[in-house]
Amino acid sequence: MDIKKSSSNEKIGGLSIYVMVLGAVAVAFGCADILVWAGFSSGLNLGIIEIAGDDFFRWAWGGLVVLMGGLIMLSGAVDAGEIRQFAKVTLGALMLLMIAGTDIFARLCENIPAGEEAPEFFNSLGGFIGGFAPPYSPAILLLPFVLVIVYLAVKYDGEN
């Protein structure tokens, strides 16, 4: 049972390449999260991406989840159009989605209160929206690419 009903190998090959690249980037980001937490670097800030922090549960544990999600995606990348392989890819994508969701929720919660220097407790609307400006964590940057895989899984489920 194949994800793609057509006999076109280009579509299946394209999906495999997409998953391989996304999995490799996720593995690299997961390793970077763990290495920065472990103290090999004081942090990494490259324009829209930022890896910094000493929070164990976000950077070490979250980096491990991103790393494992990337490895699971890589294990399912070969013949990703086949249903069992695509299930692996979807599991890895859901792991990345979980960390991205927690990062977005953390940004949301950080931006509700005003800063310590402000006399009011709640942040202004402009300050709240400004808190969502770059730099972003690696999981948030991977989110749009992961949502493509989630879309394919939902589309497949709707067809069957």
Six token digits for residue 78? 């070969």
Residue 3 lies in a domain: no
Whether residue 87 contacts residue 19, with contact meaning beta carbons closer than 8 Å, is answered with no
Give the C-alpha distances (Å, rounded to integers) separating 68 from 13, 91, 96, 127, 154: 23, 10, 9, 35, 22
pTM: 0.85
Residue 2 lies in a domain: no
Residue 95 lies in a domain: yes
Q: What's residue 91's pLDDT?
A: 96
Q: Which domain holds residue 42?
A: 9-159
Give the type of residue at 129.
I
Q: Detail the DSSP E strand segments found in the chain.
A: 44-46, 49-51
Residue 69 lies in a domain: yes
The span from the CA of 93 to the CA of 75, in Å, is 12
| Number of domains forming the structure of the chain | 1
State the sign of the Cα–Cα–Cα–Cα dihedral 75, 50, 54, 118. negative
Residue 1 lies in a domain: no
pLDDT per position as a tens digit, 30-88: 999 999 988 888 888 888 998 887 778 888 899 999 999 999 999 999 888 888 999 99
pLDDT per position as a tens digit, 3-18: 555 444 445 578 899 9
pLDDT per position as a tens digit, 86-107: 999 999 999 999 999 999 999 9
